[in-house]
Amino acid sequence: MKRRDFINHIGASTLSLAVLHETFAHDDHDDDDDDRVKNAPITIPTNTGVSGRVIVVGGGMAGTTAAKYLRLWGGVDVDVTLVEPNAVYYSNIFSNMVLTGERTLSQITFNYNTLISKYGVKLETSAVTNIDPIGKNVQLDNGKTLAYDRIILAPGIDFDPLPLSGTADNQANILHAWKAGAQTTALKAQIQSMTKKDTFIMTIPPKPFRCPPGPYERACVVADYLKRVKGGGKVIILDANSGIQAQPTNFTNAFNNTYKGIITYVPGATINSIDANTGTVNTAMGSFKGKVINAIPTHKAGSLITQSGIGLANTGGGRWAGVNVLSYESTAVPNVHIIGDASSTTQPKAGHIANAEAKVCVDAIIKLFRGETVNQSPITNSSCFTPITKTTASWLSVVFRYDPATATMLPAGKGVVESNGASKDFHEDMLKWFDNLMSDTFA
């Protein structure tokens, strides 16, 4: 697929990203012009006729977008408080490139200053510990209680424990680095300590997991690093799923050709146990030994959802939050909306679509505050760019439309489209896509 086709494919989306429309449009622009546009003062509208108190929990891809757009679209009388325990956000997107030194952690670190100064969002640097849906308030771990008219929960994911054995020190060396931050830095050090005789083992949990192409992308960039910097090495992918979960053509090509002799892909490799002392992973497909074990555990919604005690985790065997995708309101608890990875929908768990979900949710909340019916035909989209080598990337893109018959978001048009291989042009596009997505979320 060429650039123009890509834009046509994703251009069907209306409510979704301004980001997407800008992704390639910046080609002809001067960087100074871009900076002036990004830094231009924003006037929050005063005449929307909308008022209400909204608490947004979680300052990641979904929550930050929601907080910003509640003010931008809702106006000055929508009182928005973002609750997030961390002072900064480390982007998972591009964190695989930190592992191999293509980016630094500081280059993928974002803060909430603009959200406060430009959009008038209030920030509580704290975690929500309890939700009272009857009293419509939340407790924070700094002792405060905050009242809401509507609340948006975007706490991301948590993990099941891994079946680990071995000393505590050796167990602590088994990292997932699937939430960017300290583990990203630690896994980077482990990869750097490898020689061309060593093996990197990565385990992929059963779906659903965040960023369907993410683990395969990681395998590629680690293989690229070992090949370029160490002169060789092995990468074994132990996938609990029956096959590659995203961009199957591009990744099969990368594993069989670009990284022939380096990457071994093993589907159906459900993990039975991991011996951290010997670096052995025992799976349904046999036992594998490596120097570095990067084990990504089985996912579930952020613990705020599963431990709330108010029935939010009502799908997937109590692991995920069911939502009405017209508004992202919980199917269990009124006035509580769940967006991003923690919700259970037919859409992927990804940052790009979390941004789009946030906008659908915000639009619905504003309409609900006005006493109007929410949009009955929302459209969202997702794109994922994937570095395959240091200089090339591939991508996938999908547009989702609401299907009234099933009350779900279904892929529209050509469905999930993957790029025709990896290229340097796509790598350049990837850098612009990231800057636009992060600026649409945090700036």
Ligand X SMILES: Cc1cc2nc3c(=O)[nH]c(=O)nc-3n(C[C@H](O)[C@H](O)[C@H](O)COP(=O)(O)OP(=O)(O)OC[C@H]3O[C@@H](n4cnc5c(N)ncnc54)[C@H](O)[C@@H]3O)c2cc1C
CA distance 248 to 337: 33
CA distance 168 to 403: 50
**Nearest distance, CB of residue 377 and ligand X, angstroms:** 23
Q: Give the angle subtended at the CA of 349 by the CAs of 400 and 311, to the nearest 5°.
A: 100
Residue 250 engages ligand X in binding (rule: CB under 6 A): no
Binding ligand X by CB under 6 A: which of 112, 178, 288, 400? Answer: 178
CB-nearer residue toward ligand X: 50 or 384: 384
CB-nearer residue toward ligand X: 93 or 293: 93
Binding ligand X by CB under 6 A: which of 6, 89, 320, 426? Answer: 89
Task: With H, G, I as helix, E, B as strand and everything else as coil, classify residue 312.
Answer: coil
CB-nearer residue toward ligand X: 74 or 340: 340
CA distance 97 to 103: 6
Tokens for 282, please give them. 């025992």
Binding to ligand X by CB under 6 A, coded x per residue (else -) over 320-349, reads: --------------------xxx------x
CA distance 238 to 222: 15
Closest CB to ligand X: residue number: 60
Binding ligand X by CB under 6 A: which of 83, 338, 374, 398? Answer: 83
**Nearest distance, CB of residue 358 and ligand X, angstroms:** 8
Residue 166 engages ligand X in binding (rule: CB under 6 A): no
Binding ligand X by CB under 6 A: which of 19, 20, 55, 57? Answer: 57
Q: What is the DSSP letter of 319?
A: T
Residue 427 engages ligand X in binding (rule: CB under 6 A): no
Residue 233 engages ligand X in binding (rule: CB under 6 A): no
One-character DSSP codes across 348-397 = ---HHHHHHHHHHHHHHHHHHHHTPPPPSS-EEEEEEEEESSSS-EEEEE
Residue 96 engages ligand X in binding (rule: CB under 6 A): yes
Residue 201 CA from chain centroid, whole number: 23
Residue 99 engages ligand X in binding (rule: CB under 6 A): no
Residue 205 engages ligand X in binding (rule: CB under 6 A): no
Residue 398 engages ligand X in binding (rule: CB under 6 A): no
How many residues interact with ligand X (rule CB under 6 A)? 37
Q: Count of CB atoms within 10 A of residue 43's CB?
A: 8
Residue 84 engages ligand X in binding (rule: CB under 6 A): yes
- Give buried/exposed letters for 370-409 (b at 16+ CB in 10 A, else e): eeeebbeebbbbbbbbbbbbeebbbbbbbbbbbeeeeeeb
Tokens for 237, please give them. 């992918």
Task: Note the residues at the interface with ligand X (CB under 6 A).
Answer: 57-63, 83-86, 89, 92-93, 95-96, 127-128, 154-156, 178, 210-211, 214, 302, 304, 340-342, 349-352, 354, 384-385
